């Protein structure tokens, strides 16, 4: 072998040795090998690049940069460009290796050096952002200071998979970052497969709209998807929902109508018309159209029930689950409303059992504990936060006997915001599962936790809850508090009391109605703030009678609103305060028109904005002399708040659960004055309470004294009754087995 060959062989061995040291993280020895290689072959540039990398990995950044500069020497421009590319390739390779190993800090540091060498390498900047997110070190202004958005917009070639990956990472890490809309918009020019972009955008915007309560931002982002596919039904459905949640009713209605026009299947038409109906229901001036749309929806649902399709997909079952939500707001027809609801719920469950047969069968094969074991009670809801259900359910949770029961909380779409009430719930439960929006994940967690009795607080107010209950992850399942019973066959019981459902109601329910002895709901009271409403600021005389109705647009049935106008007309020097979440312009138009038709001066009406907190809202109720309830869907939380504040209430009693809420609450607080069984009685009580100050004072005194004696204000006793019910339900289950 010649001396040249020996020299060449020695260098090969030296490089191999350097690689071995490098793999073992012995960077000092590897650097020594590369230094020897440079002495032997000063013209081979890769030795400089590798030596610099070894120095960099030892934290000697300045020395690394000097080594790379030395390697560049005084080459020609073209040579320097080539050498720079070679250096960057070596650094990129190591950065990728480090990322694979989970060593994000070192990978990020290496890519920072690549950035110094080539500050306009957009793909490297994207990697930097991704690595910063993985380390949770992304600085607020980094998305803009790096100039990456501008580079994405101007760079013709961007690694699309990386780009979408970074977009998804940003949306998961900090979806409310002010640069997110611009970043997402910049991605559009590089998207060749729209569905890949839409698949990232849809779940992120759902989280933004619901978990973070930013529906306007969610709509803004989702509008980007329409630029790629203007007639994508999934986008349009969510977009309509976001607009409505953001109180942009005109846009929500417009998009819902477009959705309906593009829908070709019965299930798509039903969901689109449900969205349209939702928008119209919050615009009382559109009530006539809402009734027409409701009838269309009922006809479509009957057609679907005739088909009895058992091949619906999960997403279609979710659409269908709460499509009958508005029926009790429009009509007090317990027979018809319950029949359709039960049939729809049954169809949904059959389809769930079809596409999730493996899970359903596995859940059915669970083993049960004996009678003497501590019961595990699970509470399932998306409302365990600043929500009506959140305010009402807390007393049951607070007073639970922890020695007798383990209580688990399953949060659907856990709110990613500062919500003290939500955090309170988390602390109260034996275990709290902060779930997302995927039914199968939450159901599996309930099953793995071996919950004995699962309490659904949502009913059909949330589609995800319906699918979870249909999977039946717990042996005994109960609906309490939210809406009405869902009608899902997998639900065993519906909690009621002697008043909220008539004795004959069982024939309309698939669930067994479990009646508590006195009341199906009780609270220990409410926090009350400092009032912000004054008569003089509303230009109302001190001797005037003030009526108040504080309900959202869904409940503004024209027939009941007309009765309220008749009351105002009959009571001289009376004023009507109207408040509640809805299309404010439509609400004013609606009531103004009714007032004119009934001969009531419009200047006797006052329209109030929403209060900034629940406590202030309750304090402001005291400006009213009389509160007028809605029908056929009564108040629930609003009724409890009214009675707690000692204000006389006029309510109309019907047949369905929603039309008897205020009735049971008044019976359980010991006040019958104001309970009307007909429209005529509703007006009579309203007029009588307005004209008779002594009667108002008598009712107010009753309400005040009831705080110490009434079942409605005894959360601890109520909890005891619920716990007795749980024990009996479990005994029934074991006996049935």
CB 689 within 8 A of CB 648: yes
**pLDDT value, residue 684:** 98
The Cα 271–Cα 444 span in angstroms is 27
The Cα 199–Cα 4 span in angstroms is 60
pLDDT exceeds cutoff 80 at 465: yes
pLDDT exceeds cutoff 50 at 6: no
DSSP for residue 382: S
The Cα 179–Cα 177 span in angstroms is 5
DSSP for residue 493: E
Distances from the Cα of 530 to the Cαs of 101, 571, 611, 620, in angstroms?
57, 29, 11, 8
**pLDDT value, residue 499:** 98
Across the beta sheet with 545-550, what order do the strands follow? 605-608, 574-579, 545-550, 626-628, 649-652, 675-676
Across the beta sheet with 453-456, what order do the strands follow? 431-434, 405-411, 375-381, 453-456, 476-479, 493-496, 512-515
Question: What's the chain's average pLDDT?
Answer: 93
Query: Exposed/middle/buried for 25, CB within 10 Å: 0-12, 13-18, 19+?
Result: exposed
pLDDT tens profile 262-271: 999 999 999 9
**479 beta partners:** 456, 494
pLDDT (mean) for 196-216: 94
pLDDT (mean) for 117-143: 89
pTM (2 decimals)? 0.87
- Cα 1 to chain centroid distance, Å, stands at 76
**pLDDT value, residue 481:** 93
**pLDDT value, residue 248:** 94
pLDDT (mean) for 276-286: 90
pLDDT exceeds cutoff 70 at 370: no
pLDDT (mean) for 72-89: 86
pLDDT exceeds cutoff 70 at 475: yes
pLDDT exceeds cutoff 80 at 642: yes
What single string gives the DSSP state of each residue in 500-568?
A: TS-GGGGGG-SSEEEE-SS-S---S----------TGGGT--TTSEEEEEE--GGG--HHHHHHHHHHH
Which string of b and e fits 265-297 if b means at least 16 CB within 10 Å?
Answer: ebbbbbbbbbbbbbbbbbbbbbbeebbebbebb
CB 282 within 8 A of CB 585: no
Residue with the bigger pLDDT between 523 and 33: it is: 523
Query: Exposed/middle/buried for 321, CB within 10 Å: 0-12, 13-18, 19+?
Result: buried
- Give long-range contacts, CB 8 A cutoff, 24+ apart: 720-723: 720/399, 721/516, 721/517, 721/518, 722/396, 722/495, 722/516, 723/400, 723/401, 723/404, 723/405
pLDDT tens profile 169-193: 999 999 999 999 999 999 999 999 9
The Cα 719–Cα 735 span in angstroms is 24
pLDDT exceeds cutoff 60 at 45: yes
Residue with the bigger pLDDT between 545 and 552: it is: 545
The Cα 558–Cα 284 span in angstroms is 8
pLDDT exceeds cutoff 70 at 244: yes
pLDDT tens profile 681-730: 999 999 999 999 999 999 999 999 999 999 999 999 999 999 999 999 99
Q: What values do phi and psi take at 666, rounded to 5?
A: -70, -40
pLDDT exceeds cutoff 60 at 2: no
pLDDT tens profile 570-625: 999 999 999 988 888 889 999 999 999 999 999 999 999 999 899 999 999 999 99
pLDDT exceeds cutoff 90 at 72: no
pLDDT exceeds cutoff 50 at 4: no
């Amino acid at each position: 072998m010649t001396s040249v060959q020996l020299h060449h062989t020695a260098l090969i061995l030296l490089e191999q040795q350097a690689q071995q040291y490098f793999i073992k993280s012995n960077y000092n020895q590897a650097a020594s090998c590369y230094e020897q290689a440079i002495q032997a072959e000063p013209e081979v540039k890769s030795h400089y690049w590798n030596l610099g990398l070894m120095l960099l990995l030892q934290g000697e950044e300045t020395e690394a940069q000097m080594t790379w500069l030395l390697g560049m020497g005084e080459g020609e421009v073209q040579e320097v460009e080539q050498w720079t590319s070679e250096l960057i390739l070596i650094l990129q390779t190591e950065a990728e290796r480090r990322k694979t190993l989970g060593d994000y800090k070192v990978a990020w540091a290496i890519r920072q050096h690549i950035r110094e060498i080539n500050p306009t390498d957009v793909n490297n900047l994207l990697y930097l952002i991704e690595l910063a997110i993985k380390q949770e070190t992304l600085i607020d202004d980094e998305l803009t200071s790096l100039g990456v958005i501008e580079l994405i917009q101007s760079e013709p070639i961007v690694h699309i998979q990386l780009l979408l990956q970074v977009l998804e990472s940003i949306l998961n890490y900090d979806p409310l970052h002010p640069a997110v809309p611009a970043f997402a918009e910049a991605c559009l020019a590089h998207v060749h497969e729209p569905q890949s972009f839409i698949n990232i955008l849809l779940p992120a915007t759902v989280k933004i709209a619901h978990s973070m309560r930013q529906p306007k931002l969610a709509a803004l982002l989702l509008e980007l998807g329409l630029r790629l596919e203007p007639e994508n039904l999934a986008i349009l459905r969510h977009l309509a929902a976001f607009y409505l949640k953001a109180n942009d009713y005109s846009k929500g209605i417009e998009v819902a109508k477009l959705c309906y026009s593009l829908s070709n299947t019965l299930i798509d038409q039903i969901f689109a018309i449900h969205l349209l109906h939702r928008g119209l229901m919050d615009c009382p001036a559109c009530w006539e159209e809402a009734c027409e749309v409701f009838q269309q929806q009922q006809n479509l649902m009957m057609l679907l029930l005739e088909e009895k399709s058992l091949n619906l997909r999960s997403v279609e079952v979710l659409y269908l689950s709460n499509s009958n939500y508005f029926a009790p707001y429009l009509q007090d027809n317990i027979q018809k409303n319950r029949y359709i609801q039960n049939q729809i719920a049954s169809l949904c469950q059959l389809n769930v059992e079809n596409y999730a047969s493996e899970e359903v069968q596995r859940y059915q094969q669970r083993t049960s504990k004996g009678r003497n074991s501590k019961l595990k009670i699970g509470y399932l809801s998306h409302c365990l936060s600043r929500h009506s259900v959140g305010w009402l359910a807390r007393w049951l949770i607070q007073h639970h006997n922890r020695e007798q029961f383990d209580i688990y909380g399953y949060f659907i779409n856990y709110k990613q915001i500062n919500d003290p009430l939500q955090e309170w719930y988390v602390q109260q439960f034996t275990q709290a599962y902060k779930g997302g929006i995927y039914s199968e994940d939450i159901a599996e967690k309930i099953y793995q936790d071996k919950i004995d009795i699962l309490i659904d607080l949502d009913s059909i107010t949330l589609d995800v809850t319906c699918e979870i209950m249909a999977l039946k992850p717990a042996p005994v399942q109960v609906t309490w508090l939210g809406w009405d019973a869902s009608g899902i066959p997998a639900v065993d019981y519906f909690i009621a009391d002697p008043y909220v459902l008539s004795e004959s109601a069982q024939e309309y329910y698939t669930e067994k109605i479990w009646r508590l002895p006195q009341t199906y709901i009780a609270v220990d009271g409410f926090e009350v703030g400092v009032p912000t409403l004054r008569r003089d600021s509303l230009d109302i005389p001190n001797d005037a009678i003030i009526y108040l109705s504080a309900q959202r647009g869904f409940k503004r049935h024209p027939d009941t609103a007309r009765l309220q106008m008749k009351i105002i007309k009959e009571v001289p020097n009376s004023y009507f305060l109207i408040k509640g979440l809805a299309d404010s312009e439509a609400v004013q138009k609606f009531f103004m028109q009714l007032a004119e038709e009934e001969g009531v001066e419009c200047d006797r009406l006052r329209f109030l904005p929403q209060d900034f907190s629940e406590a202030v809202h309750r304090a402001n109720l005291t400006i009213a002399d009389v509160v007028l309830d809605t029908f056929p869907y009564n108040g629930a939380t609003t009724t409890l708040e009214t009675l707690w504040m000692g204000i006389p209430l006029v309510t109309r009693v019907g047949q369905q659960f929603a039309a008897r809420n205020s009735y049971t609450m008044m019976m359980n607080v010991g006040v019958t004055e104001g309970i009307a069984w007909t429209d005529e009685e509703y007006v009579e009580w309203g007029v009588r309470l307005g004209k008779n100050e002594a009667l108002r004072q008598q009712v107010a005194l009753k309400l005040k004294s009831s705080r110490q004696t009434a079942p409605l204000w005894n959360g601890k006793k109520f909890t005891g009754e619920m716990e007795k019910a749980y024990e009996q339900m479990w005994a029934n289950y074991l006996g049935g087995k």
